[in-house]
Structure 1
């Protein structure tokens, strides 16, 4: 089963940064690894569901023309809007996956630390919606903690195994450490950055 909205409400009621995104070196370094794994210098449209308080979102905002963030928790949405207030290219919405999936196409969809909060059926729906929402040159970046999480019906390995099974895409990046796994999947078989120039 997926975790209820009340689970996240309890977390954000106790702290504005329940996973210590702002303060832990592990989280800061993981964000840097995430950004380094993006195969393109810049994206037109990025979608980041489950944005939490917007720490990764702020860095993604600098790599795109338009960023759509969503979160199931209203407190997280308020925190993310405050964190991202200086970025005119960002919109933050209150929404729940997989039912509130946005319209349109995206060049990058970031599924970071979200898959194991859904049950296997819901995660399969998210994977299907993700690939249907990708532009012709689009990519998916997925990153998940590998240790068990209390109350979750899946772990990080199961989440990424489902991606490998269900995505008819090319895996361009795979990075694994004892604590997390990160993968980048693309409609294109090679990096698009080979001919890209700095601006």
Structure 2
């Protein structure tokens, strides 16, 4: 039921505007995407998953760092915009779906959870955290980035979402950015020190 409500909510937003959050052309959004990309500890990832991809602006930039990228959104209208933007990126797959129920099969070494988790009910966030903790062993980077300020209709703020993530995830916090407007955290199951990996220390 909640999934259907999200589909209606976001499809209505995209019906009124192809860019309901003014993501394109915004220096705030451009800078945030640049910080997201710069915060990823690995230069390249074999397989990444980006749920809640919206119209694919971050997806397009992530694609340059991934051998394979699966991106999803609950809104068919958002996905239509993303497909147009990414039509030449043959290693990117776009599917309709919503967390926590519609989790794709397969292994990913990068998960990007951007501006997404505050839309979940607290019980669904708990289910998602349980799913993350149950992921198979191996290299894994989890990046989360969320707007700090209150959002109408959301039980949790972005800051509260990150408090839940920090309390639940047992992995190394490799990078944390406390911006005035958003919170960005990166966890990794492998070594967090690039200097050590390159033999610099």
**Size of the alignment, in residue pairs?**
197
Which residue number corresponds to residue 143 of structure 2? 141
**SS at structure 2 position matched to 1:137:** coil
Which residue number corresponds to residue 85 of structure 1? 87
Q: CA RMSD in A?
A: 1.9
Quickly say closer, same or farther: Cα 1:131–1:44, change in 2 above 3 A. farther
The separation in 1 between residues aligned to 2:137 and 2:33, in whole angstroms, is 24
Q: How does 1:122-161 map to 2 (within 5 A)?
A: 122-133=124-135, 136-161=138-163
The separation in 2 between residues aligned to 1:61 and 1:194, in whole angstroms, is 27
Q: TM-score, normalization: structure 1?
A: 0.93
Bigger mean CA deviation after superposition, 44-53 or 4-13? 4-13
Structure 2: segments with no counterpart, 5+ residues: none
Q: Which has the higher contact order (CA 8 A, sep 6+)?
A: 1
Deviation for aligned residue 1:194: 4.8
| Corresponding position: 1:52 with 2:91 | no
Which residue number corresponds to residue 188 of structure 2? 186
User: In 2, are the aligned partners of 1:141 and 1:182 still within 8 Å (CA)?
Assistant: yes
What does the per-residue CA deviation read over 1:31-60, in whole Å, with 9 as the maximum and x for residues that have no partner?
A: 000000000000000000000000000000
The structure 1 residue matched to 2:25, chosen from 23, 26, 36, is 23
Bigger mean CA deviation after superposition, 121-130 or 106-115? 121-130
Q: TM-score, normalization: structure 2?
A: 0.92
User: In 1, are the aligned partners of 2:41 and 2:192 still within 8 Å (CA)?
Assistant: no
| Corresponding position: 1:94 with 2:96 | yes
The structure 2 residue matched to 1:72, chosen from 67, 71, 74, is 74
Bigger mean CA deviation after superposition, 134-143 or 70-79? 134-143
